[in-house]
Chain A
């Protein structure tokens, strides 16, 4: 017999959602185990929100099925949802109520008392703004309130749909810290994002979704364990062309001021020798940890997974994995 802790928290089997024009979610099968911080990574429009909506019971599936905490009957799912704190797409609150009163509404549904509301408000740093009306909050404050609402009652599973949206780098860092803290306490977290860096820094596991299909699902460590070669030389264009012709290179691309390539054999010396043979001298040649962006490219053949919207973290993003 399986013990309770062996039961996957989330399990989907060929789950699909078709709209008239699009198939938003196309037969996806996910498996999230207890204690995982699971990143659901994909560009805008990939089907992340729709998938979460299906799991939360507010979107009716067109096909497939899913289990939460091992249960899949209507009653089991209803019971399971009481063990989940979740946001979907936007912070959804009553604009004319204060932050505190909005949490009161959530706490009421979950049968919690006001001490819990205070705890959560402090946790997300809204303690002093709690009496202000939600409509007067900045987007960052709205996001924090939404994150706070998911933590009411300390649920076993927390589902966050793009929690970093609209936050400045400082805010993103704070949210990351909170999520890490939850993960360390053994909570299961399912987090969707179009930002590689966010998933890379907070998650233990990842599923990459594109056009409604899961293209890869693994632990972040596994996915990024293979190395890629990072090279620099005076003429980057010539370098890129040359590496592209190298037989063991799976793919090559320009990233910032260097060229990055995945090698079948992982043999840097052989690559260097081959390049020298073609008259190209590299000033920089190292093994870098493969970033999720590389994984994404390998899986989909598309380099771009959506750039972060604010410039500051964008620079940060593109430099992920670079060895100085």
Chain B
């Protein structure tokens, strides 16, 4: 395995009971690559990226993340989660902690960093997502866009090798979408390895190295944004793109 492979999925399959959510998934993510995953609702996008930090367990095939193979007998799931940051659709900030604490607890409780050190890191990344002035507020006092940027900062504080985004802008009011996308774009410019489930096609065009289209648990098309949007091969992809671009 080459050293700069961050995520490697081979023939991955997963079932919920009798229902197959993921089928023959083959995917590699190299260091610094930005990947956008799209596809109709229920096609298994969330399930796929949740397998990458083992919030979900796959049943067949092999997933290797940052050199660690994920399987049922692994003793330390937390080890892989250190290297994988995740941003959720609904932010999932800890509402009983200030923004600053939200960003500090990861390094403090996982890496055993001192509070002073963790605070410095937290402020640095809050600066990075451009909301250092909100540090002492509680999440509920922030707008959706600000909360999502805090969630990004919280993940960054762990200095992950790859960031997973699960529809980070789809719970936001339209005018807040761009501030989050701007943050993500600037992350991408700085070379962060990213896997984003999103339907923001402008974002995909601007930053993605590859776009992956999923349908019914399978990757049905994969290519550069250019090829994906202008010359889709698969019938399902064509339909999807035409629907997305209709409005």
The answer to whether A and B assemble together is no
- B residues near A, CB below 8 A? none
